[in-house]
């Protein structure tokens, strides 16, 4: 009998260890996958893979930055001397245009004559810059010069201010506006939610009667159960026009509307955890404080709040986590304009909204796809940083208290 | 015994495969394919047609991998895609099922009702920033765009912006419904939606592609007689080897009944 029990106990132990290690392994694998996919981005050329930029050999230009390439094809740079070339107008040429220049039959059945035709066009136009697939490049043509390819650079990714991932020929992956947008919206959401949430938590744990508490608690928990897309819809139809009219703004889809929605969504988390922490204050401490002649308010802010500070920090961190990772509601109310935020009353684009909106159509394995994974890595790093620092703070406070 | 079961299973699967066809691709075409598939199955109860969206690019990828029989695209097949299919030994055939017109919409209170293509290009690339530059009130222009994953986004970029990039930091909305909602709430707003989505909450702009000589209102009639310029064909693509399998459905879409569904949904018929 005893032996059987021992065996069962050992088996349970092994199973528990196993499930624990499987969970940690799964998390580790997810992180490795995320980072592997993400950092693959920097092995991609800055011009779309499989394509090359060609110019006439008589053109002295040797190098163009991704930014310059984009501006040339947007007709913002119109002469070669702006990129250290001759004083001539630039003629941007996209591959598709060849099909409107020659009839289809002239390319041959398997397009075997296409390279020659492309070569012809480049030779005839000394000021051309042609964006063509590498497979149709005529290698031995001496009067065609291919611009050197460089990979997407780390500093362009983290320092770039333009997010145009589907621009051809040179997509722009500047994540700075996205990171700033995410932090901006979350920061103001917490700024709104923290005082409100703390107020409600104090009221519920210290001041409210049993009956009101019984009524309020499920109501707040219900608030956490509403799907985020419903919040987003509510935000778009009710909050956005309200913000626009009340503040007479040109646009209602602003960071402010996003912060408001996120604040509402983070409230239940903050309230529940903070309240639980305050309720956890030992009865002896409260009574001692009251016995020493402290009023109810003095007890709250001198005894209970400091005692519950680690729980409150946890509440704030979880609230921030909720705000930073929130996708759907923000996607619907912030307008998703990828600009550097400099005011609260302006449209912003957040990282989760970008991933959600763009992953569907980004071709698997391409630069755009990998850049979205890298955005996921950045999001992961931000939440990690927040939780680590929160742990650090709460630990320090605990030591001081004792 | 086992053998008989196996053969019946194989037979059933084979039979099922002959009758079943899958359609995948553009979300714009989703209502059209769904509705025609429903009606088609009513007439031919033995066949099943499943329709899924995901975007035009997804449709072509599925055709490439053989996980769909028909790909629905709201743009023409790209040269690369055609090449990839050719490498796999597939020659695609193209059928135009309907046409879709894009309407440029503004807030109903906006005085501006005519715009040229050049002005639209200026607005969406960020060069024109105030309505007074195009004959309206002194009020900042707020352009709304779709997300980059949308075929409509690509088509607008190609047709109106002549492949230039949208201004960086344009407002982008996840769905056409959201664009209509935002524009009806925002005084200085401008955006683009499919003709079928036009309603009285927004005002449609008359567009000129000839430098301001004639401005054409976006209506089904104008799109049909080709005077309205921002019109795109909606395609079905399939592997030529699969022709027998998909032909009945395609024929149904192009038939009088199928084209009636096309105009009910708000697209423009082929004929």
Mention every residue, 6+ apart, whose C-beta is less than 8 A from residue B182: A236, A240, A252, A253, A335, B144, B171, B173, B189, B191
**Which B residues 225-264 touch A at CB under 8 Å?**
none
CA nearest to A252 within chain B? B186
Q: Chain A to chain B, count of Cβ pairs less than 8 Å apart?
A: 96
- Condensed to tens digits (0 to 9), the pLDDT of residues A253-288 reads 999 999 999 999 999 989 999 999 899 888 899 899
Distance of residue A200 Cα from the nearest chain B Cα, in angstroms: 34
Intra-chain end-to-end CA distance of chain A, in Å? 48
- Condensed to tens digits (0 to 9), the pLDDT of residues A2-34 reads 889 999 999 999 999 999 999 999 999 999 999
- Condensed to tens digits (0 to 9), the pLDDT of residues A55-88 reads 888 888 888 888 888 889 888 888 888 888 888 8
Distance of residue A62 Cα from the nearest chain B Cα, in angstroms: 24
CA nearest to A133 within chain B? B80
ipTM for the whole complex: 0.78
* Nearest Cα residue to A54 out of A153, A120, A152, A151: A120
- Alpha-carbon distance of A185 to A323, in angstroms, equals 8
Mean pLDDT calculated for residue range A238-245 = 91
Mean pLDDT calculated for residue range A190-206 = 92
Q: Which two tokens mark B239? A: 């592997």
- Condensed to tens digits (0 to 9), the pLDDT of residues A367-379 reads 888 999 999 999 9
Q: Three-state DSSP class for A226? A: coil
What tens-digit pLDDT sequence spans chain B (271 residues)?
A: 666 666 665 555 555 555 678 998 888 888 899 999 999 999 988 888 999 887 777 788 888 888 899 999 888 887 777 878 888 888 889 999 999 899 999 999 999 999 999 999 999 999 999 999 999 999 999 999 988 767 788 889 989 998 888 988 899 888 788 889 899 988 899 999 988 888 899 999 999 999 888 999 998 889 888 899 999 889 999 998 888 889 999 999 999 999 999 988 888 888 7
Cβ contact (<8 Å) for B171 and A253? yes
- Alpha-carbon distance of A96 to B80, in angstroms, equals 11
């Amino acid at each position: 009998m005893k032996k059987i029990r021992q065996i069962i106990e050992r088996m349970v132990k092994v199973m528990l260890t196993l499930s624990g290690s499987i969970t940690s392994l799964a998390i580790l694998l997810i992180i490795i996958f995320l980072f592997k996919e993400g950092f693959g981005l920097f092995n991609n050329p800055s011009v779309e893979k499989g394509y090359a930029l060609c110019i006439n050999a008589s053109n002295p230009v040797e190098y163009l930055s991704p930014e310059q390439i984009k501006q040339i094809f947007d007709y913002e740079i119109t002469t070669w001397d702006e990129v250290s070339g001759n004083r001539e107008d630039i003629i941007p040429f996209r591959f598709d245009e060849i099909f409107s220049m020659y009839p289809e039959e002239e390319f041959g059945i398997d397009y075997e004559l296409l390279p020659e035709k492309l070569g012809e066009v480049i030779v005839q136009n000394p000021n051309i810059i042609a964006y063509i697939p590498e497979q149709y490049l005529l290698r031995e043509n001496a009067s065609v010069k291919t611009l050197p390819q460089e990979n997407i650079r780390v500093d362009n990714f983290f320092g770039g201010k333009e997010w145009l991932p589907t621009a051809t020929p040179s997509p722009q992956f500047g994540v700075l506006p996205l990171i700033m947008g995410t932090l901006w919206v979350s920061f103001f959401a917490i700024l709104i939610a923290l005082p409100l949430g703390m107020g409600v938590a104090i009221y519920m744990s210290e001041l409210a009667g049993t009956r009101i508490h019984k009524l309020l608690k499920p109501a707040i928990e219900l608030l956490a159960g509403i799907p985020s897309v419903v919040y987003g819809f509510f935000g778009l139809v009710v909050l956005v026009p309200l913000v626009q009219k009340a503040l007479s703004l040109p646009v209602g889809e602003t960071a402010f509307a996003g912060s408001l929605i996120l604040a509402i969504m983070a409230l239940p988390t903050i309230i529940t955890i903070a309240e639980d922490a305050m309720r956890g204050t030992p009865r002896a401490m409260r009574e001692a404080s009251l016995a020493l002649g402290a009023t109810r308010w003095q007890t709250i802010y001198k005894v209970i709040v400091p005692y519950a500070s680690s729980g409150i920090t946890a509440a704030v961190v979880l609230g921030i986590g909720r705000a930073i990772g929130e996708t759907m509601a923000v996607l619907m109310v912030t307008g998703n304009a990828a600009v550097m935020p400099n005011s609260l009353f302006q449209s912003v684009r957040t990282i989760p909204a970008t991933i959600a909106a763009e992953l569907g159509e980004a071709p698997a394995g391409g630069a755009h796809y990998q850049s979205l994974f890298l955005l996921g890595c950045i999001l992961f790093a931000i939440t990690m940083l927040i939780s680590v620092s929160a742990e650090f703070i709460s630990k320090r406070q605990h030591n001081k208290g004792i | 015994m086992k053998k008989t079961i196996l053969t019946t299973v194989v037979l059933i699967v084979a039979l099922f495969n002959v009758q079943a066809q899958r359609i995948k691709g553009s979300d714009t075409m989703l209502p059209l394919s769904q509705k025609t598939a429903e009606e088609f199955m009513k007439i031919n109860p033995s066949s099943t047609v499943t329709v899924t969206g995901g975007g035009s690019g997804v449709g072509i990828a599925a055709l490439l991998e053989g996980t769909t029989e028909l790909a629905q695209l709201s743009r023409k097949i790209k040269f690369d895609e055609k090449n990839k299919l050719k490498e796999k030994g597939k020659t695609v055939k193209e059928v135009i099922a309907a046409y879709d017109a894009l309407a440029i919409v503004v807030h109903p209170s906006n005085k501006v009702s005519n715009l040229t293509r050049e002005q639209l290009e200026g607005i969406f690339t960020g060069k024109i920033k105030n309505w007074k530059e195009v004959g309206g009130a002194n009020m900042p222009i707020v352009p709304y765009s779709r997300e980059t994953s949308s075929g409509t986004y690509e088509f607008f970029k190609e047709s109106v912006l002549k492949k230039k990039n949208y201004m960086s930091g344009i407002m982008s909305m996840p769905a056409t419904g959201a664009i209509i909602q935002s524009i009806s709430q925002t005084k200085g707003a401008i955006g683009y939606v499919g003709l079928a989505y036009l309603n009285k909450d927004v005002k449609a702009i008359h567009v000129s592609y000839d430098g301001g000589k004639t401005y054409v209102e976006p209506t089904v009639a104008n799109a049909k007689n080709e005077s309205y310029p921002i019109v795109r064909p909606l395609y079905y693509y399939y592997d030529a080897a699969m022709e027998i399998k998909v032909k009945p459905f395609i024929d149904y879409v192009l038939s009088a009944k199928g084209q009636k569904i096309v105009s009910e949904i708000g697209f423009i018929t082929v004929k």
